[in-house]
Amino acid sequence: MLRQVVGAFALAVSCTSLVPVNAVPLPVPAAARAPQPDATDLINETGRLRMLAERMGKAYAQLALNLMPDKARTQLMSSQQRFEENLAFVARGATKPITRAGLDAISATYRSYAEALALPPTKANVAAAHHLTDKLVSEAENLTAAFEGHAQVPTARFVNISGRQRMLSQRMARLYFAAALGNGKGGGEQDRVEFRNMLVTLDTSPLTTPEIRREIDLARTQWLFFEQALLGNGDPASSLKHVATASERLLETMDNIASLFSKA
């Protein structure tokens, strides 16, 4: 099915919608129908592309591991659909040459990525797909930074930081699963340090409201369990399952935090 979607998928620079050709159009978020996206919404939703790229890679590795395959398959499909919706949304705000070029780069890499994810989830195919994950995340990072640089709102930086935390929750799990397949060492110490430090940055921000701080406290608790699983404190099978479930819980909380900063 993914191969059919990719084969029909086309992104025109001038288009304001992004749907498979000869298929039922994907539902577009209400925000995507707005005449001009809000600056913080653009940062949040462009930053979400980073997370979705990592989440697709994580789910693909889960399938290779036969780890909760039904959930992994659902996550892969829903993440791909949301990624395409977000491209349509971001296209409305990519009005400057630098942001348009960034969007074009992401769209081209995504087409290759979707083709890779349509292949059987073997160890070799996961390794090849994860190279594209890194490329796609890097391109989305650059575009998010470009939108942040153009934003004239004080919350822009914290929307980006909390959105990146959302991505890291998926990246650390993806690398852990890749290591379990024998593709790399997993490690992730640099990512873990960044995640811990950025929780402090968000918590101490003058723009952090009591509601946001409650979510940050929840994220801290979830992080403790997630980090223990990443460190392999337990039997391997249990650690794999805990990484899969804890990464999703942490993702949900960080997504709430990003949304709250976006609306602040």
How many whole angstroms separate alpha carbon 29 and alpha carbon 204? 32
More confident of the two residues 187 and 119? 119
Confidence of residue 187 (pLDDT cuts 50, 70, 90): low
Percent of the chain past pLDDT 90, that is, above it, reads 78
| Tens of pLDDT, residues 60-119 | 999 999 999 999 999 999 999 999 999 999 999 999 999 999 999 999 999 999 999 999
CA pair distance 17, 15, nearest whole angstrom: 6
pLDDT at 180 over 60: yes
Write out the two tokens for 110. 């995504």
Using the predicted structure, report yes or no on whether residue 53 has a pLDDT greater than 70.
Answer: yes
In a 3-state reduction of DSSP, which class is residue 100?
Answer: helix
Residue 183 has pLDDT above 90, yes or no: no
pLDDT at residue 68, rounded to an integer: 97
pLDDT-derived band at 14 (thresholds 50, 70, 90) equals very low
Those residues whose C-beta lies under 8 Å from the C-beta of residue 165, and which sit 6 or more positions away, are 195, 198, 199, 202, 219, 254, 257, 258
| Phi, psi dihedral angles at 153 (to 5 degrees) | -130, 140
**210-254: pLDDT as tens digits:** 999 999 999 999 999 999 999 987 788 999 999 999 999 999 999
CA atoms within 13 A on the CB side of 40: 17
- Those residues whose C-beta lies under 8 Å from the C-beta of residue 225, and which sit 6 or more positions away, are 242, 246
What's the mean per-residue pLDDT of the chain?
Answer: 88
